Amino acid sequence: MNGTKQKLDEDIKQLVIERLRKIPSGKKISIGGEGNFTAQELIDRIEKNDKIGQKIVKIQMNFLQSLKEGLLLNE
């Protein structure tokens, strides 16, 4: 079971990284009081699994879950 969760966690990270790669270079993303980051900086943080990387993965997954549930589309 632990191996399955680890694989899922890696798949989720890869999904978020691929989403970040679609952001035009030079654009910055603000992460609350943490500062502004380029997509590549966020990808590096996700790969390091630091606090900012974990936060961006959580933010992206909450966004995708909201889309899935129709919360962002007024359904």
Smallest Cα–Cα separation from 13: which of 67, 63, 54? 54
Q: Percent of the chain scored above 70 by pLDDT? A: 93
Q: Which of 73, 2, 6, 12 is nearest to 46 (CA)?
A: 12
* Statement: residue 61 has pLDDT above 70: yes
User: What are the structure tokens assigned to 65, written together?
Assistant: 């879950």
**What residues does 5 pair with on adjacent strands?**
none
Amino acid at 31: I
pLDDT by residue (tens digit) across 14-46?
A: 999 999 999 998 899 998 899 999 999 999 999
Nearest C-alpha neighbor of 39 from the set 14, 19, 13, 62: 19
